[in-house]
Amino acid sequence: MKIHDISVSLSNQMPVYPGDPPLRITREYSVPDAEFNVSYIVTGTHIGTHIDPPFHFIENGYTVDRIPLDHLYGTAEVVDLTQVKAQVTADDLKGVASDMIVLKTRNSALWESSEFSKDYVSLDESAALWAVENHVKTIGIDYLSIGSFEDGAGVHRILLGGGVTVVEGLDLRSIKPGTYTIACLPIKIKDGDGAPARVILIEK
């Protein structure tokens, strides 16, 4: 059994989606001047590797602490879409049979820079509709938004309104396409619109 960590590490140097609250991690007490090391963290809820529940875009959608647990653990298919230049379409997803999908795109290389890139691969609305119509429980992608920078709200509303859990900010640089067990547990924020998460893939 091999376990892959596909989360990005939180740091003050990481890219943040424009307009989101910036991340700030500060060491408050430090050894040897203090008896222990303690830091505080100030951040938005959609930083780094994180989960979008329906409430992120849907007024009466359920919140991050109410995501069904079978959306956060199970068998997932990593789909190789590194050939896609701009947007993933429904045609790109035909033949995918899993109800938990992780999309490996050229985005993963963007984690090599601390600057946010607007030129990332996203889903178009046909792909979002495909996910809902095919009863996908969870879909993940390897950058900070599953919708485009110019017009991502529509894709989010389709997915989240259809009950699909969205995982954003994955790092898939070392991951090969195939079937894995995924474990994806967000911080349990009461009534939260999203939360950072540690996400792993287990290879049998």
The model's pLDDT over 155-203, given as tens digits with 9 standing for 90+, comes to 999 999 999 999 999 999 999 999 999 999 999 999 999 999 999 999 9
Residue of 82, 200, 187, 70 whose CA lies nearest to 136: 70
* Bridge partners, residue 189, by sequence: none
Residue 69 lies in a domain: yes
Which structural domain range is residue 125 located in? Answer: 2-9+45-203
Tell me the pTM. 0.95
State whether residue 196 is helix, strand or coil: strand
User: Within a domain: residue 16?
Assistant: no
The CATH number of the domain holding residue 65 is 3.50.30.50
pLDDT digits (tens, 9 = 90+) for 99-141: 999 999 999 999 999 999 999 999 999 999 999 999 999 999 9
